[in-house]
Structure 1
Amino acid sequence: MSATQSHRGVGSAVALPPLSNGPHRKRLGLVALIATFGGLLFGYDTGVINGALRPMTAELGLTPFTEGIVASSLVFAAAIGALSGGRISDGWGRRKTIILLAVLFFAGTLVCVFTPSVGVLVVGRVLLGLAVGGASAVVPVFLAEMAPFEIRGSLAGRNELMIVVGQLAAFVVNAIIGIVWGDVPGVWRIMLAVCALPAIALFFGMLRVPESPRWLVEKGRHDEALAVLRSVRSEDRALAELGEVENVAKEERESQQIGWRAVFSNKNLFRILLVGIGLGVAQQLTGINSIMYYGQTVLVESGFNESGALIANIAPGVIAVIGGVIALTLMDRIDRRKTFILGLALTTSCHLLIGFASMMLPVGNPIRPFVILFLVVAFVGSMQTFLNVAVWVYLSEVFPLHMRGFGTGVSIFFLWVVNGFLSLFFPSLVAGLGITGTFFLFAVVGALALVFVVKQVPETRGRTLEALEEDVTTGAIYLVHKNQG
């Protein structure tokens, strides 16, 4: 398929003028940069607990179970935030929803920083979780709807890159603050306070960003949609894309395939929803966020002392950013299915190696912590290069416009629920099974996830959102997948 064509339905093609350089490309890049501050906040707020948890435990007297509650409260709230954020963005708009999320980020940060007790801290973490979950559902959709299909993967994938940049920033800030002010009471409050800065930047930045043109078309605001497209496309491309979006929206209305109710009356829409849910759950069952939240705990368990683990914990954050950059270069060149399969094969192999290393190298062996650190870094690099970015991009593009917020929100809801249970029970899991049993368990789940991807996940790369929409609605996307398989 040429770069200027997109396949529709059973094979008809709609030609779009090729992309061109100019001020509109720079404008699109600026819009993407501002929106991805939501991803930066996502990353910082989920990553900061990694280094803040131990001094927080010392000051507030947390037990292993209450540690899990503090860490997982954000994650469970993120599940609700993803579900409600997707629905709100369908009705209220992507832009206004992201502005609301910026306010939630700021409010949650203030509550956590000035908390007098564990109970209030959990309330603050819940507010942050609602914001994190909403951002995880709305920002990738906004980017996918703003992007030309030729670069949709790399543009929408920037949000995931910003997530890991935020996590790395949290690890670095934690290490610096921990070393410089480690003896200061309440040092963890300083670590959390840093989050207020990108929240302010996101709020004021989004005030100057336009609404998604595809959402505007769905609401019948065609002139506004054209004005937005003209600001981020050449004139002929803007007119052509508007026409394609209008045609699909008209077909939806005529067939009455509109809204979340259509999902349960159309087996193809319901099936793609199950695919989205399964892919999100598979991503979390690799255990990636257990490493990002409890990396210091794993490294202490492997043999590092606390300060050494705090510094060594930066390494997975660095490799996550490097992997994210590589993933963006691959996103518009390699099929999504291939990246999923390769990623799951690599991460499952890393799980097995971590399990064997922890079993064969007893505690006290001087090379044990460094071998496990190397394998953890390899796991995070594999995950970020081939799975994380691709999964978030896939969820932002695979659902039809009328159910995009709902479908993305539901998929990410289940993603966060699984993430929450892992966050809640991971400390107890490591305490009960040790590193060996924990990572062998992750390996078994990874093998099952690999089978799911091979059998059930269809391809989405290289087609416009409108072409994908018709293929998903009619079931043609599964026929293509079957023929390719």
Structure 2
Amino acid sequence: MAMAPRLSQPGQRGPDLDGTAPAKHVDRRLRLITLIATFGGLLFGYDTGVISGALPFMSLSHDEGGLGLTPLTEGVVASSLVLGAAFGALLGGRLADHYGRRRTISALAVLFFVGALGTALAPGLTVMVLFRVLLGLAVGGASATVPVFLAELAPAERRGRLVTQNELMIVTGQLCAYTSNAVIAETIGEAGIWRWMLAIATVPAVLLWIGMLFVPESPRWLAAHGRTDEAAETLRQVRAPGTVDAELAEIEHRVAADASEPRAGWNDLRTPWIRRIVIVGLGLAGLSQLTGVNSIMYFAPTILLETGLGTQAALTATIANGVVAVIAVSCGIWLLGRHGRRQMLLVGQIGVTVSLALIAAAFLLLPQSPLRSYLVLAFMLTFLAFMQCCIATVFWLMLSEIFPLRLRGFAMGVSVFGTWTANFAVTLLFPPLISTIGGATFLIFAAINVASFVFYVRMVPETRGRSMEAIEDSFRAQSAA
């Protein structure tokens, strides 16, 4: 397969004498590659967030331009994407290991386009669910592949910042969805406006596909497939002078050590240190969703409608969720450069638990009024601040860096399958729960978060400032001790 064209600017000076890109251009290349790849995160965020504003209009009757959804079928429509994402994560991880990270992301861009267009044109519930599942395959595949691709391209000292750019793009996509929903609802008549909301996602899908034509393949994947010269060439594009040889030697050492091992698969779980890593990964992936975050991200208008706000007011207020999420992730990226992953995870867990208890208290102790509506919104924003700053940034980053090279795509796929399975359960059950037991739903989430805190204290290691190969060695050493 021919190598991807280099990301370079007209008139740019060529490599230094050792073949490494000039240091002043390395940062620019890394940022550009990250921007292009994280359009997958933007699509992830938009396609998961847009449903929150589309559902109230899809619930209208067919005569009014909707699909006549009930609370149960609302949950089916919302959760069908999540179900597809669970299997997309498994499939995406396998494809990324076999065909490469770059090719896989390009193929996912096509799925994003077809899925978005299909949902926008769906004539009824069945077709809508089918294309939501297809769209979910793309979302799940991107969630498993993009963080790994970025982690494998980034130098150890910048891995946290570059990988968490994907989380920033996810919440930016959600903010774009909330904002466009509110604008469309305000400016276009009600009949079928949800179709416009869903169709917008085709644009970034095209941009992602075009951008990936100019992005290099992961050097670690290339080395693992015997293409060492190409791996070295990629490293020369994205590393400072004088650092390539040492990093390539470390990668080659790990590849050589893995060469005698069989293909990555379920049998690897018999190895104690691998089993421990996968348990940590599944725990991070699943428990992050059982915080209840997507009950707020997907159903914020529904929650606010329960408090007494009108539809347009609820859609407008939901924009605040997106704004807070973007600011919180930006703060989280800054904090990751100064504090450990584990410390941030534990602080975030305390914050979301207290916030959920306060949401429940506002629902259960206050009568329906504007005061209750805005208190619930305020506590939702507090929840999102802790969640997006301290948990979301950390769990995607740690998933991308803890797995050994030989089974990184497979293990990432399995763990992200856990993310989307937990997400599916929350998304399917939340609408009927909030309509029957109301605010007590958030007490259930609070209790789950207490258990999550205990798991993190006992199981999650610190990974800050260590190369991906060093992290693997530490897990091996713990098992041997």
TM-score relative to the length of structure 1: 0.92
- The answer for the alignment partner of 2:473 in structure 1 is 470
AA of the residue aligned to 1:320:
A
AA of the residue aligned to 1:465:
M
Give the drift of 1:194: 0.6
- 8 Å CA contact 2:366–2:372 kept in 1: the answer is yes
Deviations 1:209-233 (A, max 9, x none): 0000000111110000000000011
- Are positions 1:444 and 2:447 aligned together? yes
- 8 Å CA contact 1:79–1:414 kept in 2: the answer is yes
- The answer for the alignment partner of 1:219 in structure 2 is 225
Give the whole-Å Cα distance in 2 for the aligned partners of 1:333 and 1:409. 29
- The answer for the alignment partner of 1:89 in structure 2 is 96
- The answer for the alignment partner of 2:38 in structure 1 is 36
Give the whole-Å Cα distance in 1 for the aligned partners of 2:196 and 2:266. 46
- The answer for the alignment partner of 1:270 in structure 2 is 275
What SS is found at the alignment partner of 1:381? helix
- 8 Å CA contact 1:252–1:258 kept in 2: the answer is no
Give the drift of 1:163: 0.2
What SS is found at the alignment partner of 1:269? helix
Give the whole-Å Cα distance in 1 for the aligned partners of 2:395 and 2:408. 15
- 8 Å CA contact 1:152–1:332 kept in 2: the answer is no
Give the whole-Å Cα distance in 1 for the aligned partners of 2:357 and 2:122. 41
Give the drift of 1:366: 3.2
- 8 Å CA contact 2:290–2:445 kept in 1: the answer is yes
Give the whole-Å Cα distance in 2 for the aligned partners of 1:77 and 1:88. 16
Give matches, 1:123-162, under 5 Å.
123-162=130-169
Give the drift of 1:425: 1.0
Give matches, 1:228-239, under 5 Å.
228-239=234-245
Deviations 1:429-476 (A, max 9, x none): 1112111x1111111000000000001111111100111122223436
- Are positions 1:351 and 2:356 aligned together? yes
Unaligned runs of 5+ in 2: 1-20, 61-65
Deviations 1:309-362 (A, max 9, x none): 110011111000000100111123211110110000000000111111222211
- The answer for the alignment partner of 1:424 in structure 2 is 428
Give the drift of 1:253: 2.2
- The answer for the alignment partner of 1:287 in structure 2 is 292
TM-score relative to the length of structure 2: 0.93
* Aligned residues: CA RMSD: 1.4
- Are positions 1:334 and 2:339 aligned together? yes
- Are positions 1:114 and 2:121 aligned together? yes
Give the whole-Å Cα distance in 2 for the aligned partners of 1:201 and 1:192. 17
Give the whole-Å Cα distance in 1 for the aligned partners of 2:267 and 2:71. 44
- 8 Å CA contact 2:22–2:241 kept in 1: the answer is no
Unaligned runs of 5+ in 1: 1-18, 480-485
Give the whole-Å Cα distance in 2 for the aligned partners of 1:372 and 1:34. 36
Give the drift of 1:20: 8.7
Task: Show structure 1 runs of 4+ deviating over 4 A.
Answer: none
- 8 Å CA contact 1:316–1:381 kept in 2: the answer is no
AA of the residue aligned to 2:297:
M
- Are positions 1:368 and 2:375 aligned together? no
The aligned length equals: 456
Deviations 1:123-175 (A, max 9, x none): 11011100000000000000000000001011000000000000000000000
- The answer for the alignment partner of 1:48 in structure 2 is 50
What SS is found at the alignment partner of 2:370? coil
- The answer for the alignment partner of 1:413 in structure 2 is 417
Q: Which is further off, 222-231 or 295-304?
A: 295-304
Give the drift of 1:234: 2.3
Of residues 10, 24, 27 in structure 1, which corresponds to 2:26? 24
